[in-house]
Amino acid sequence: MKKLLAFLTLGLLLFLAACSSEGGSAKEPGNNGDTSDSAENAEKQEVTFWHSMGGAGQEALNKIVEEYNTSQDGIQVNAEYQGTYDESLTKFNAVAGSDSAPSVIQTFEIGTMSMINSGQITPIQEFVDADSYDMSGLEENITNYYSLDGKFYSMPFNSSTPVMYYNKDAFKAAGLDPETPPATYEEVEEASKKIVESNPEMKGFALQAYGWLWEQLLANQGALLLNNDNGRTDTPTEIGWTEEEGKSILEWVKRMVDDETFANYGTNGDNMMAGFLAGDVSMFLQSSASSRDVIDNAPFEVGIAYLPHPEDKERQGVVIGGASLWMIDGKSEEEQKAAWEFMKYLQTPEIQAEWHVGTGYFAINPGAYEEQVVKDAHAEKPQLQVTVDQLQDTKASYATQGALMDMLPEGRKIMETALEKIYNGGDVDEAYNTAVEQFNVAIEQANAARGE
Amino acid sequence: MAIVMSFMTNKDILTGSMPSTFTLDNYVRAFERFPLFQYLFNSLVVSIVIMIGQLVLSSLAAYAFVFLEFKGRDLLFYLFIATMMVPFEASIIPNFQIIRDLGWIDTYSGLAVPFFATAFGTFLLRQNFKQIPKELREASQIAGMGDFKYYLTVVLPVSRASLVTLGIYGFLSSWNMYLWPLLSTTNDKVRTVQIGLKQLQTQEQLNEWGVIMAGAVIVIIPTLILLFFGQKKLQKGLTEGALK
Amino acid sequence: MSMTNAAQINETTVFDMEPVKKKQRIKSFMKGMAFLLPSIILFSVFLFYPMFRTIYLSFFLTKANGDPTVFVGLENYINMFSSPIFLKSMKSTFLFVLYTVPASVIISLFLSIIANEKLKGIGFFRTMYSSTMGVSVAAASVFWLYLFNPSMGLLNQVLGSFGIEAIGWLTDPKWALLSVSITTIWMNIGFTFLILLGGLQSIDSSLYESADIEGAGYLYKLRRVTIPMLSPTMFFVITVTIINAFQSFGQIDILTQGGPINETNLIVYSIYREAFVNYKFGSASAQAIVLFILILLMTALQFKLGERKVHYQ
């Protein structure tokens, strides 16, 4: 009994101690995180940078931030991981305007409109103007996405596009030419049939049920996702694609499902890549950011090709995906200036080269492709060059500029459900009509919620 | 299986082949990736504090619900039970705003205090206290023993087993919390290991499952040790109780 | 902080109260309150207030930061009940509860009765059975994700060796909910087992002894002694398992993310998506209220039916 009492008392003391000690340390500027060591120099301007890079991306990012902090002594950047983009945004929305808010936050591309609407950010155009910074030095197809009415709201950062990965060894075994990968939907179907014929253990093609890929397949045939020019000339009021454009994708998948050449991995991209690496499927679509990992981990030769398009449509190209950096409003001028310096640093060719090689994301600054590290990497893995070419071959239009609206995350989920219906033998008309109806309702509700 | 995987190279895992080499690389990398010891320490502090807070508060509340008779007792009890049914995902945002207003972001208090009151614990102990023979209470009242003394000297020792169970449960569930610690912290100072585990995963790139598994193993080991010893303790406490 | 202070105040009030002999009723009420106060304060701040806020928000459309913008009355509720997606969520949630609760309780009851036997080395099995409790949802889900993996998962490899065609455990709408349920049952077992074992061990051994003297058989003892004496614990376990089943989230997020075709889109997951991904706090709140009422009804029903049958000593 006495032991128990002693234990409880000890517990209370411990708790009090924890409270007070932590109350004390909170006042010190010191911070023993891995990337930050600011206590030594109080004059340094601190910049808090919230990001969502886990795994290898975090490693590369931390390295860059560290290099920046040691390269000069006026600014101290603290890179802090905040979970997925969704989690990070939720947290940001709740702390916006308070002291806990960061100076810079990394947000995914479909969060662009939400961020603008939030009223908690300073458009970086202000800094571009004040500093006469030349944004045209950056990759045009990337800056296209992030500028709205000729104004930049955020600084592009990690960028990627979808590409088609294929198993060259399997192509050879099936009597296909590994150097001319299928470019159209129809060719993909044919190749899939040949693959399955030569090896019944392997499926031809896999498409992850992922709304981002739906958006990309639309853009590649020149279709808009939302009306009013993808939401770039006015607030969208309904979907932007035509029935023919939308159904072409679903019907394409449906034909492969019927041929039994399609591998269904649902919404799980990891399983799909694992299936590809294990030789269960010969082709799949995925972000170019994975290219380095896929090539490194495959026990066979990996080919990378452009995103396929319907035979009767011309290839338009891809929309940029990934994330950008936002300047948070309500911070001191010094802090914002310091954050701007850091953003500019990230755009330099050397840093972009390091980032591109370290992660597989694009270099936003094409100058990076002239850096030796990138040249070496591309010489070693010529497939990486394809991902860059596809981006640079993209025809600028509203379709490939990408859609802007705050309901895009919800729209993605709706399209994912429609794709899954097809994967499981569902009817194209039914899946398509339900999805379009839900998509339009979601747009309507999002507009209503803004009180417009 | 997870343990085996934590020793494999990523390539072997992804292609589904048998491990070609055993390597400690994954562990080394898991440790390099984030301040793991700091995280482990934070997890330990938060879990212990929550565990103690829960034990104190729920045993007090359960005592009131079982041994004290007062107006509105049953109503209050059902209100308590009802709190279990509030979906956590629904209350998390208002809770976060409260923590923000209290200035508890990035503090141990912010991580721990919201979880002190637990209907679950109160319910568990209430069920257990009800099994304590009524004669004990009558005898203590005749002996002139006050409620608080009775609570401390009779009720708590008798229900040691349940307290240990609740303690273990409280510790484990706090150890395993993810969404709340992520929201209520912004930097590494008070972050817990589960966030570290999440940091090993990526959103757009291929995951290094070996490293993730190594991280998972590191995170699970302390809880398994606790369970192992808790089990021993639990049985010991029970045999002691049987001698009463 | 507030908690420790409150606890200290309690002590003093309780002791001060002791000598006072008047106003018996007020006194006992105060005493009850003193014991309950710390919990009540924390509940008010971290549960009741958010709850009221949720109810309030459910009548609004909101901005991304959760601030209400347009008052829409019951529209969120009307939309919800006319949405086939939400109705499907309701159905999946009930099916999920039906799949997981009885199975979890029966399996752990069985295991705990075995583990309660005084056999050599039983401690090892006790630790084994309860070990799933120590595994976090995240780790457990990752582990099962591998078992269910279509290409290298153990389950399909075993099926393959028997010549059975691979099953899309998490991608086939017919299997997905079942697969998630199996994972959930596995995760539940550790905890329910531990609680039930605790309950079994606190049964007075003299009851068994007297049954032995009467020459009762094993099954008779199980039916007449074990089950009735275990009923308070059983009641607790069932209630908590039901509530937890209604609120299962982590395994869904990692295993299926609500798919395929919303088959595993349980209400909690749907709330999470509405709030954290779509930033529609209004409809998320409305869903949360409906879920709350559902759980409340189920638990009230359980208390009404169950507590009568529970045998307290």
Query: CATH number for the domain including C178?
Result: 1.10.3720.10
Residue C68 located in a structural domain: no
Q: Are both C80 and C182 inside the same structural domain?
A: yes
CB A402, CB A109: distance < 8 Å:
yes
For residue A292, pLDDT over 50 is answered with yes
Residue in C139, C201, C295 closest to B161 by CB = C201
For residue A42, pLDDT over 70 is answered with no
Q: Are both C194 and C253 inside the same structural domain?
A: yes
CB A204, CB A282: distance < 8 Å:
yes
Give, for A131, the enclosing helix (H) or strand (E): helix A125-131
Length of chain A equals 452
**Which amino acid appears at position C150 of this protein?**
P
3-class secondary structure, A418: helix
Q: How many CA atoms lie within 13 A of A333 on its CB side?
A: 2
List, in order, residues 6 or more apart from A326 with CB less than 8 Å away.
A104, A105, A106, A107, A115, A121, A124, A153, A154, A155
Considering only residues B128 and A323, tell me which one the structure prediction assigns the higher pLDDT. A323
The domains of chain A are located at: 24-159+321-378, 162-318+406-449
d(CA B210, CA B201): 11
Q: Are both C39 and C114 inside the same structural domain?
A: no
pTM (predicted TM-score): 0.80
A162-177, pLDDT tens digit by residue?
A: 999 999 999 999 999 9
Give contacts of C277 with chain A, Cβ < 8 Å: 86, 409-410, 413
Confidence of residue A452 (pLDDT cuts 50, 70, 90): low
CB C41, CB C269: distance < 8 Å:
no
d(CA A157, CA A322): 8
**Cα distance from B71 to chain A (closest Cα, Å)?**
30
**Contact (CB<8Å) C10/B60:** yes
**Cα distance from A302 to chain C (closest Cα, Å)?**
19
**Contact (CB<8Å) A273/B156:** no
Tell me which chains share at least 3 CB pairs under 8 Å with chain A. Answer: B, C
**CA nearest to B96, candidates B183, B212, B192:** B183
Number of domains in chain C: 2
Q: Are both C252 and C284 inside the same structural domain?
A: yes
Residue in B81, B146, B219 closest to C136 by CB = B219
Taking the CA atoms of C34, C35, C40 and C46 in sequence, report the sign of the dihedral they define: positive
Residue C66 located in a structural domain: no
Give contacts of B34 with chain A, Cβ < 8 Å: 34
**Contact (CB<8Å) B11/A297:** yes
Q: Are both C51 and C83 inside the same structural domain?
A: no
**Contact (CB<8Å) A264/C171:** yes
d(CA A341, CA A344): 5
User: Domain A162-318+406-449, what fold?
Assistant: D-Maltodextrin-Binding Protein; domain 2 (3.40.190)
Counting one residue from chain A and one from chain C, the pairs whose CB atoms sit within 8 A come to 105
Residue in A274, A445, A451 closest to C151 by CB = A274
Does residue A39 belong to the interface with chain B, where contact is any CB pair within 8 Å?
no
Taking the CA atoms of C297, B57, C47 and C264 in sequence, report the sign of the dihedral they define: negative
Domains defined for chain B, CATH in brackets: 2-7+28-242 (1.10.3720.10)
pLDDT tens, chain C, 313 aa long? 344 444 444 444 444 444 545 567 777 788 778 888 888 888 888 888 888 888 888 898 887 767 788 888 888 898 888 888 899 999 999 999 999 999 999 999 988 888 887 777 777 777 777 777 777 777 777 778 777 877 667 777 778 778 777 777 888 888 889 989 988 998 888 888 888 887 787 777 777 788 888 877 778 877 778 888 888 788 888 888 888 888 888 888 878 887 788 888 888 888 888 887 888 888 888 998 898 888 888 888 888 877 666 665 4
Residue C208 located in a structural domain: yes
Q: Are both C157 and C258 inside the same structural domain?
A: yes
Give contacts of A26 with chain B, Cβ < 8 Å: 106-107
**Angle value at C-alpha B213, between B211 and B218, nearest 5 degrees:** 95
Q: Do domains A24-159+321-378 and A162-318+406-449 have the same CATH topology?
A: yes
Q: Are both C268 and C224 inside the same structural domain?
A: yes
Alpha carbon distances (Å) from A237 to A231, B83, C282 = 9, 41, 21
Residue C287 located in a structural domain: yes
**DSSP tag of A127:** H
CB A216, CB A162: distance < 8 Å:
yes
**CA nearest to A342, candidates A88, A42, A40, A75:** A75
**CA nearest to B94, candidates C42, C49, C70, C269:** C49
pLDDT at B21: 53
Please report where in the chains the tokens 């209907």 appear, as a residue.
B119
Put residue A165 in one of left, alpha, beta given phi > 0 → left and psi -120 to 50 → alpha: beta
3-state secondary structure chain C: CHHHHHHHHHHHHHHHHCCCCCCHHHHHHHHHHHHHHHHHHHHHHHHHHHHHHHHHHCCEEECCCCCEEEECCCHHHHHHHHCHHHHHHHHHHHHHHHHHHHHHHHHHHHHHHHHCCCCCCHHHHHHHHHHHHHCCHHHHHHHHHHHHCCCCCHHHHHHHHCCCCCCCCCCCHHHHHHHHHHHHHHHHHHHHHHHHHHHHHCCCHHHHHHHHHCCCCHHHHHHHHHHHHHHHHHHHHHHHHHHHHHCCCHHHHHHCCCCCCCCCCCHHHHHHHHHHHCCCHHHHHHHHHHHHHHHHHHHHHHHHHHHHHCCCC
Q: Are both C144 and C255 inside the same structural domain?
A: yes
The whole domain housing C170 covers 76-309
**Contact (CB<8Å) B190/A22:** yes
Question: What is the homologous superfamily of the domain A24-159+321-378 according to CATH?
Answer: Periplasmic binding protein-like II (3.40.190.10)
d(CA A219, CA A237): 19
Report the chain A residue with the minimal C-alpha distance to residue C75.
A445
Q: Are both C47 and C95 inside the same structural domain?
A: no
d(CA A215, CA A402): 8
